[in-house]
């Protein structure tokens, strides 16, 4: 039997957003907690809006002109001279479309307007753009970061859980281990899915919403 509860005072007015089209909605009326609530526009499950919403930017008219992919994506920043083909090949094999981000603003827009499943950042200690993108990633709430798999490729020890935790990512990879990347990513992805599967299923049970404005 489907259970419904009436919005309480602390829930009323709570905001949600669509990770695909960027639409924003507010709680109204009764809430169905038994299944995800789809966006009225594109049917993607809605997410709770957080204080990080202010990080996302649009053009002067409040609209996003870029033709973003509609499928699941992997966002990549690649600051190395070595080719990124081993990484993109593995991600495409997982059914992900590749979006190469160029700077902090582009990265944040890609997070907002695509169904991001993975973020891979590869850069050295002098790469200003790479550092700014990582800082934007680390400033997201834990709730937002749990929505996708993230990895840093740089001067770190591969599969160092403490270093990954300190850097607000799921995985650290040393560039010398890129030849073994397929096995490393598969192991890390499997472990993350094991840890978060049930948790994310609960987060997807969002309440009924009313559009803002």
* Predicted confidence (pLDDT) at residue 4 exceeds the cutoff of 50: no
Residue 63's pLDDT is 44
How many CA atoms are closer than 13 Å to the CA of 48, on its beta-carbon side? 18
Residue 84's pLDDT is 87
Token couple for 40: 């009225």
pLDDT in tens, 83-142: 888 889 989 998 999 999 999 999 999 998 899 999 999 999 999 999 999 999 999 988
Max avg pLDDT among 4-18, 149-163, 189-203: 149-163
Residue 2's pLDDT is 35
Going 24 to 27 to 31 to 34, the CA torsion angle's sign is: positive
pLDDT in tens, 11-58: 444 566 676 666 666 555 554 545 566 776 666 776 766 544 433 333
pLDDT in tens, 188-198: 888 877 776 66
* Cα 70 to chain centroid, rounded: 14
Residue 27's pLDDT is 54
Residue 118's pLDDT is 94
Residue 145's pLDDT is 86
Confidence of residue 202 (pLDDT cuts 50, 70, 90): low
Residue 29's pLDDT is 52
End-to-end CA distance of the chain: 33
* Predicted confidence (pLDDT) at residue 3 exceeds the cutoff of 90: no
């Amino acid at each position: 039997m489907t259970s419904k509860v009436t919005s309480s005072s602390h829930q009323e007015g709570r905001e949600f957003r669509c990770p695909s089209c960027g639409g924003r909605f507010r709680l109204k009326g009764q809430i169905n907690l038994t299944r995800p609530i789809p966006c009225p526009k594109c049917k993607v499950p809605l997410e709770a809006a957080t204080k990080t919403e202010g990080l996302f930017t649009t053009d002067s008219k409040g609209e996003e002109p870029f033709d973003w992919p509609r499928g699941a994506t992997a966002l990549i920043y690649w600051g190395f001279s070595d080719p990124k083909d081993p990484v993109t090949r593995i991600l495409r094999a997982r059914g992900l479309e590749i979006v190469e981000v160029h700077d902090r603003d582009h990265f944040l827009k890609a997070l907002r307007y695509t169904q991001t499943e993975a973020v891979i950042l590869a850069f050295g200690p002098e790469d200003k753009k790479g550092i700014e993108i990582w800082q934007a990633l680390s400033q997201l709430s834990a709730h937002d970061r749990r929505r996708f798999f993230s990895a840093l490729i740089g001067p770190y020890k591969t599969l160092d859980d403490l270093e990954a935790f300190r850097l607000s990512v799921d995985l650290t990879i040393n560039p010398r281990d890129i030849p073994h990347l397929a096995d490393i990513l598969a192991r890390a992805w499997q472990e993350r899915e094991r840890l978060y599967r049930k948790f994310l299923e609960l987060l997807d049970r969002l309440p009924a919403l009313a559009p803002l404005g």
